[in-house]
Amino acid sequence: MVSHQDRRNNISLDSVNFFLADVRDGLGPYLAIYLLAVHQWEPASIGLVMTLAGVAALAAQTPAGALIDRARSKRAIIAIAALVVTGSCLLLPFVTSFSLVALTQAISAVAASVFAPAICAISLGITGPRAFTRRTGRNETFNHAGNACAALLAGGFAYLFGPVAVFYLMAVMALGSVVAVTFISAGAIDHELARGFDPADAGHGKQPSGWSVLLTNKPLLVFAICCALFHLANAAMLPLVSQKLAQVNLQMATPLTSACIVAAQLVMVPVAWLVGAKADVWGRKPLLLAGFLILPLRGALYTVSNDPYWLVAVQLLDGVGAGIFGALFPVVVKDLTKGTGHFNISLGALTTVFGLGAAFSNGLAGIVVQEAGYSAAFLTLAGVATVALVLLVVGMPETLPTAGEEAVLAPNRQSIASTRH
């Protein structure tokens, strides 16, 4: 039977994921539109600001994970980071110089880097390893629902009030996350479980392993390479689709691109829910293979036709592939780092790795487009995705805990819960 506290914690986590959905990813294209339309910035300056913010976010991921592993005030960290993001959003309409805009975006990106590991840590600390998969699927479901809702509201408000309205919308969502996180019970979070360390081991005097254990964890390293290749292949696909749409019909390019984003997020909602419900039954690897298989398929299908509606329809497959990957990523990392006490720093490190893959994706695609055209670029990205798929098949084991391992976890978790209450 679900207690009142468990129900409140679940609803609060749902709300945090919903409100932080847009905040976690930053202003992105909305900032570019604002700086171009309102302040008439040069595209090169806009690109440099976004690059600096991206570099700051990448550099902060691993330290953010290390901070969350050690911190016991995880709720306060989320709240403070959300307030920093709110402040940077509210400042933007009043600053125009390159240095100040770049500074606000870099600070915002660094603050936002704590959200993903903190939410995963709180989820694991509340549910324990056995229920973490379902909770993660639920986190991703509300995250994608929040993204879709924010994209629709941003488009509507920007149309009615101009591009600046997006900053206020993001500030309101960040403040909503602050309110939601305060309703999570601090006493319900087991901070040893939250870092991937068994509290029963702590009771016997065992300490978390050194960081070097992560560098000798072969499946974790293979998974990191697979993630990097996945994002190297995936990140440039939507920008390439947008460029093709602009070539076919410039007037419809922006609304169709927005439709791609919203539709893919809506597809991710049921996909994330399905992964959360079935990953403990079907296993991680079959679902991962399905997500990785869709990526080269997308790349090949984009070359079939230049019809705008065909391109948008193929982009919907991104909702399936990315939905599976997003829901399974923290679950697989949790499986591979169980007992080390370094779950969150591993999340941060792997996020940095696949962020680097995503950062190089547009450069690779741009070079191929310039030299050989869009079809060649899509096929190149599909080739990279195929390499990731083959590596996943050959080098990645199934990480679902065995029945024996689950049996050991159950009494440990029950004893912890009885001690806490």
At residue 297, the pLDDT reads 96
At residue 413, the pLDDT reads 45
Look at residue 306 and tell me whether its pLDDT is greater than 90. Answer: no
At residue 9, the pLDDT reads 93
Of 4-8, 107-111, 232-236, 272-276, which gets the smallest average pLDDT?
A: 4-8
Using one digit for the tens of pLDDT, what is the confidence trace for 260-270? 778 888 899 99
Using one digit for the tens of pLDDT, what is the confidence trace for 133-143? 999 999 999 99
What the block records as the tokens of 212 is 């070097």
Domains and CATH numbers, the chain: 1-195 (1.20.1250.20), 207-421 (1.20.1250.20)
At residue 99, the pLDDT reads 92
**How far, in Å, CA of 359 to CA of 195, rounded?**
28
At residue 420, the pLDDT reads 47
What the block records as the tokens of 302 is 């984009």
**How far, in Å, CA of 304 to CA of 313, rounded?**
12
Using one digit for the tens of pLDDT, what is the confidence trace for 180-226? 999 999 999 999 999 988 766 555 445 555 556 667 889 999 999 99
Looking at per-residue pLDDT, the higher value among 91 and 251 belongs to: 91
Look at residue 126 and tell me whether its pLDDT is greater than 60. Answer: yes
What is the residue-wise DSSP string for 108-131? HHHHHTTHHHHHHHHHHHHH-HHH
Of all residues in the chain, the percent with pLDDT exceeding 70 is 87
Look at residue 258 and tell me whether its pLDDT is greater than 80. Answer: no
Over the chain, what is the mean pLDDT?
Answer: 85
At residue 256, the pLDDT reads 73
Looking at per-residue pLDDT, the higher value among 127 and 45 belongs to: 127
Under a CB-based contact definition with an 8 Å cutoff, are residues 339 and 348 in contact?
no
**How far, in Å, CA of 157 to CA of 154, rounded?**
5
**How far, in Å, CA of 209 to CA of 342, rounded?**
8
Look at residue 397 and tell me whether its pLDDT is greater than 70. Answer: yes
At residue 8, the pLDDT reads 92
Q: Rg of the Cα trace of the chain?
A: 21
DSSP code of residue 186: G
At residue 211, the pLDDT reads 59
208: left (phi over 0), alpha (psi -120 to 50) or beta: beta
Give the residue-averaged pLDDT of 402-420.
50
Look at residue 179 and tell me whether its pLDDT is greater than 70. Answer: yes
Under a CB-based contact definition with an 8 Å cutoff, are residues 146 and 21 in contact?
yes
Q: Which residue matches tokens 């305060």?
A: 182
At residue 341, the pLDDT reads 84
Long-range CB pairs of 153-157, under 8 A, 24+ apart, other chains included: 154/22, 154/30, 155/258
- Which of 234-248, 291-305, 361-375 has the highest average model confidence (pLDDT)? 291-305
Q: Where are the beta strands (DSSP E) in 16-72?
A: none
Look at residue 421 and tell me whether its pLDDT is greater than 50. Answer: no
Give the residue-averaged pLDDT of 152-166.
80
What is the residue-wise DSSP string for 279-339? HHHH-HHHHHHHHHHHHHHHHHHTTT---HHHHHHHHTHHHHHHHHHHHHHHHHHHHHTTT
At residue 250, the pLDDT reads 65
At residue 155, the pLDDT reads 76
- Which of 56-70, 84-98, 208-222, 242-256 has the highest average model confidence (pLDDT)? 56-70
Give the residue-averaged pLDDT of 84-109.
89
At residue 207, the pLDDT reads 54
Helix and strand totals (H; E) in the chain: 20, 0
Look at residue 408 and tell me whether its pLDDT is greater than 80. Answer: no
Using one digit for the tens of pLDDT, what is the confidence trace for 346-390? 999 999 998 899 888 888 888 998 898 889 999 999 999 999 999
Nearest to 110 by CA among 136, 80, 90, 139: 80
